[in-house]
């Protein structure tokens, strides 16, 4: 985590209400910065450069209404992680730093017909089966699955639908994925040979870092009507899948950063930070990045779809039940790192905008046309994972989110400790035994990943979720408690 330079003046914030702070427009800022946080979370937020990044984003051309930050905000590349910004299509820009390296890193939630009682005593064999069937860690792959160059091209265009059409999923899955699991306008021709080469062996792999597959039980229901709509019942077993576009997305971002730096100079865009390099949305460079970024997002949708297939297989192996008995259905699948063209009401009139969400979740309200029909009465599901030792939450979007945050909310707990500091804190500890003492079976590719992901490295996700609910930009539906987890 990047600490504030000793000679830099701290960014001043003023409290608007118990859940919002403002960075008043000043200097080169075109709009205010608005940070969703309470006093307790603001203490953590002040420890790094995230607030300065909120102010920097406010300097970009064509930004609309405000530079926004969610309560899980922390320092990132260019934009803060937890940052949201919308740009006018004619005067605004698109920035790889506003999407991130892991394009369409996101979360998918599966529900099942199993109860916590049925899984009790089988969590360790289940975690071992998941770890065996789902490649985890850097360089991992399955020997029995190979993506050809031709199939990769189709995947980049068709997203999760291509995987389903290969027999690895159900058509019904696609109805419960953001955008139906495919972003139209993807242009595989803008994805470099190096990015494609990195992506081919990585489809269906979890990767390392904070990515995971987690088996959970529904520990508490807060909104019974919404829970029924989402098919969530007390003590039912769910599975969360958190991963993204792997090396392909990373390479797409890396490839375009230099091009965007040159584009910013070419179009006379003044950058408060080179990491905010960008191009006008209407420019050839902007369109090329959008096409490549959407292709990488489709890879990520396909990645989570293939992992879903192997999760289902793992459950079938351990419980000896068929798909109908297990009833492992997709609740929803959300993007966390993306920029998309959407319609939002600004100053009383609808406007087409490019909304960057980096470490943030779309949270559309009830009756929104892009909310799946099954959830239209309650709002779009919002999936908020916590750390591996505590709990995660399911929420739904609200009308207030549409009014204030371009239909956006938080995406997770947010780090409060750097990976280096976390490893230092974990030195000499047995993280696996600590998790087992909490009733959580853990399997990882190596000790370093577990050390970096210790629970205290993250904010308490309950604090983060509490802010977005009190602010009215999301509504809490259920709490999920981990039973078993695999990590890279």
Whether 294 contacts 354, CB under 8 Å: no
- With H, G, I as helix, E, B as strand and everything else as coil, classify residue 286: helix
Which three-class secondary structure string do you get for 374-401?
HHCCCCCEEEECCCCCCCEEEEEECHHH
Name which of 337, 417, 345, 399 is nearest 1 in CA terms: 417
Distance CA 95, CA 107 (A): 23
- With H, G, I as helix, E, B as strand and everything else as coil, classify residue 297: helix
Q: From the candidates 74, 176, 336, 411, which is the catalytic residue?
A: 411
Name which of 4, 123, 105, 154 is nearest 334 in CA terms: 105
**Which alpha helices (H) appear in 323-477, and where do they start and end?**
323-326, 399-404, 419-426, 431-437, 447-452, 461-470
How is residue 18 annotated by DSSP?
T
- Rg (C-alpha) for the chain, rounded Å, is 21
C-alpha to C-alpha distances, 134 to 115, 120, 210, nearest whole angstrom: 23, 22, 15
Residue pointed to by tokens 């299509």: 89
Residue 397, strand partner residues: 474
Q: What stretch of H or E contains 482?
A: strand 474-487
- With H, G, I as helix, E, B as strand and everything else as coil, classify residue 366: coil
Read off the tokens for 160. 């999760």
Name which of 384, 372, 371 is nearest 477 in CA terms: 384
336 is catalytic: no
Residue 345, strand partner residues: 350
Residue pointed to by tokens 């709009």: 31
Looking at the annotation, which residues are catalytic?
Answer: 411
């Amino acid at each position: 985590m990047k600490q504030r330079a000793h000679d830099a003046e701290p960014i001043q914030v003023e409290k608007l209400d118990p859940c919002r702070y403002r960075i008043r427009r000043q200097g080169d800022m075109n709009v205010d910065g608005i940070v969703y946080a309470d006093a307790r979370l603001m203490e953590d937020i002040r420890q790094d450069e995230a607030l300065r990044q909120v102010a920097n984003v406010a300097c970009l051309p064509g930004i609309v209404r405000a530079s926004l930050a969610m309560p899980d905000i922390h320092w990132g590349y260019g934009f803060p992680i937890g940052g949201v910004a919308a740009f006018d299509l004619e005067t605004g820009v698109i920035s790889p730093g506003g999407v991130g390296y892991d394009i369409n890193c996101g979360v998918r939630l599966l529900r099942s017909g199993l109860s916590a009682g049925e899984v009790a005593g089988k969590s360790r064999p289940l975690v071992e089966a998941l770890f065996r069937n789902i490649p985890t860690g850097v360089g991992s792959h399955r020997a029995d699955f190979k993506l050809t160059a031709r199939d990769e091209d189709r995947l980049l265009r068709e997203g999760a639908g291509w995987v389903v059409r290969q027999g690895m999923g159900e058509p019904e899955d696609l109805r419960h994925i953001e955008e139906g699991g495919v972003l139209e306008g993807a242009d595989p021709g803008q994805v470099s040979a190096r990015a494609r080469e990195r992506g081919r062996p990585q489809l269906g792999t979890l990767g390392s870092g904070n990515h995971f597959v987690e088996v959970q039980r529904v520990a508490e229901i807060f909104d019974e009507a919404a829970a029924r709509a989402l098919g969530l019942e007390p003590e039912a077993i769910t599975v969360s899948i958190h991963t993204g576009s792997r090396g392909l997305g990373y390479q797409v971002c890396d490839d375009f950063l230099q091009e965007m730096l040159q584009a910013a100079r070419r179009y006379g865009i003044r950058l408060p930070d080179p990491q905010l390099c960008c191009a006008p949305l209407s420019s050839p460079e902007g369109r090329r990045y959008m096409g490549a970024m959407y292709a990488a997002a489709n890879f990520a949708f396909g990645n989570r779809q293939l992992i879903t297939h192997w999760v289902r297989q793992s459950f079938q192996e351990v419980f000896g039940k068929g798909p109908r008995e297990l009833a492992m259905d997709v609740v929803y699948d959300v993007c966390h790192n993306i920029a998309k063209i959407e319609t939002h009401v600004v100053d009383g009139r609808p406007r087409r905008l490019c909304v960057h969400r980096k470490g943030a979740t779309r949270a559309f309200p009830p009756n929104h046309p892009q909310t799946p029909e099954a959830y239209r009465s309650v709002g779009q599901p919002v999936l908020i994972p916590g750390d591996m030792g505590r709990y995660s939450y399911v929420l739904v979007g609200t009308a207030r989110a549409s009014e204030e945050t371009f239909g956006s909310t938080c995406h997770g707990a947010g780090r409060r400790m750097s990976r280096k500091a976390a490893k230092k804190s974990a030195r000499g500890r047995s993280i696996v035994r600590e998790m087992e003492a909490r009733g959580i079976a853990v399997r990882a590719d190596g000790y370093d990943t577990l050390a970096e992901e210790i629970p205290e490295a993250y904010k308490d996700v309950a604090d983060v979720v509490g802010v977005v609910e009190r602010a009215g930009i999301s509504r809490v539906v259920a709490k999920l408690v981990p039973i078993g987890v695999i990590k890279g």
